[in-house]
A and B are shown apart, each in its own frame.
Chain A
Amino acid sequence: MNAPQAPSPAVTDPLIIAGRAYRSRLLVGTGKYKDFAETRAAVVASGAEIVTVAIRRTNVGQDANAPSLVDALSPSEFAYLPNTAGCYTADDAVRTLRLARELLDGHTLVKLEVLGDPHTLFPNVRETLTAAETLVKEGFQVMVYTSDDPIVARELEAIGCVAIMPLASLIGSGMGILNPWNLKLIIEAAKVPVLVDAGVGTASDAAIAMELGCSGVLMNTALAAARDPVRMARAMRLAVEAGREAFLAGRMPRKFYAASPSSPTTGLIG
């Protein structure tokens, strides 16, 4: 008996952001893991090439040889995407990313997020737009976290952001894709990649985002807060690939009922 052929690699179409091609459409954060070993294991299992990092004050005066993120995930091995998590004003976000550019030797691909509320972590769109304008003028390639408002998405694209990243639900909530119709409107109108950022809780959420036509998905808590983060990272890799393939394949139309069985209606016995 012939063994079935090994399946060909599922995804061959690259994700292109700011002119650079990536194999993986899954971007992952590096926070909230129990230690750097788990961070690395989860990131590797996810297949992600782009990893978000936060910029924070160095613990001066403490053990300078304590393990650090850059030891676990080398910036030469992964594309670092510095974020502005925790920033509530455009000024703070811009300042953070200028430091990130210096920190990462002139690296310009960044994730802008300006929060509006510490309780919900909902984005402050006004400050986000202001920061995006400044950053684009200064030569940054801005992937921008925003609400799922199609008009705001259009304005961020017009400013020159290289990717629009609407929330699917609140950061860290794991509530999944709450408004697929808004996401669809954003995807249809955008000429730059649209990535769901925030709200994915489990693999089906990531697959749904991709089936809607998202170019990618960015997540952190869904992996880090899973009982087995490394296994969930693998699940998310498969879900993003499956969702992308389903989107490219084009799903069958939904019908209330089929009246068209999959088996022949002729040749029945009796």
Chain B
Amino acid sequence: MELTINGKARTFDRPVATVADVVRALALEGKRIAVERNGEIVPRSRYADTAVGDADHLEIVGAVGGG
């Protein structure tokens, strides 16, 4: 399956079915992040039951230093 994550195409060796799977595959579990799937925010509580499919666009953001 190919997903676009933060603007870049990305394939996964192991199957990823949900946002939770993607977050785990990217080693971001437990990190302070926020996720958008196809322009809609996915609340943290819904990662496990939000399916991802081929050609989905995910944005994964965090807080960084800024003024």
Residues of A in contact with B (beta carbons under 8 Å apart): 29-33, 36, 39, 52-58, 60-61, 64, 68-70, 75, 80, 82-83, 85, 95, 98-100, 102-104, 171-172, 219-221, 224
Contact B36 A99 (CB under 8 A): yes
Give the shortest distance, in Å, between B66 (CB) and chain A (any CB).
3
Q: Is B48 an interface residue (CB 8 A)?
A: no
Name 29 A/B residue pairs within 8 A (Cβ), A-sorted: A30-B65, A32-B65, A33-B65, A36-B65, A52-B67, A54-B67, A55-B61, A57-B6, A57-B7, A57-B59, A57-B60, A60-B5, A64-B26, A64-B31, A68-B62, A69-B63, A70-B32, A75-B63, A80-B63, A83-B66, A85-B66, A95-B36, A99-B59, A100-B34, A100-B63, A102-B44, A103-B34, A103-B61, A221-B67
Name the residue on B nearest A81 (C-beta): B66
Residues of B in contact with A (beta carbons under 8 Å apart): 5-7, 10, 26-28, 31-36, 41, 43-44, 59-67
Determine the chain B residues whose CB is within 8 A of the CB of A55 once the complex forms: 34, 61-64
Contact A30 B67 (CB under 8 A): yes
Determine the chain A residues whose CB is within 8 A of the CB of B60 once the complex forms: 57-58, 60
Determine the chain A residues whose CB is within 8 A of the CB of B6 once the complex forms: 57-58, 60
Determine the chain B residues whose CB is within 8 A of the CB of A69 once the complex forms: 63-65
Name the residue on A nearest B7 (C-beta): A57
A142 to B47, CA, bound (A): 28
Contact A60 B28 (CB under 8 A): yes
Q: What DSSP secondary structure best describes chain A's contact surface?
A: mixed
Known: A29-B66, A31-B64, A103-B62. 15 other contacts (CB 8 A): A29-B65, A31-B67, A53-B66, A55-B62, A56-B64, A58-B62, A60-B26, A61-B26, A68-B32, A69-B63, A82-B63, A85-B67, A99-B61, A102-B44, A103-B33
A104 to B36, CA, bound (A): 14
Determine the chain B residues whose CB is within 8 A of the CB of A70 once the complex forms: 32, 62-63
Determine the chain A residues whose CB is within 8 A of the CB of B10 once the complex forms: 60-61
Determine the chain B residues whose CB is within 8 A of the CB of A171 once the complex forms: 67
A57 to B66, CA, bound (A): 13
Give the shortest distance, in Å, between A83 (CB) and chain B (any CB).
6
> Which one of A102, A220, A224 has the highest number of Cβ atoms from chain B below 10 Å of its Cβ?
A102
Name the residue on B nearest A223 (C-beta): B67
> Which one of A33, A70, A83 has the highest number of Cβ atoms from chain B below 10 Å of its Cβ?
A70
Determine the chain A residues whose CB is within 8 A of the CB of B41 once the complex forms: 98-99, 102
Contact A103 B64 (CB under 8 A): no
10 tightest Cβ-Cβ pairs between the two chains A and B? A54-B66, A29-B67, A220-B67, A64-B27, A103-B34, A30-B65, A102-B34, A57-B6, A31-B65, A53-B63
A42 to B31, CA, bound (A): 25
A57 to B67, CA, bound (A): 17
Determine the chain B residues whose CB is within 8 A of the CB of A221 once the complex forms: 67
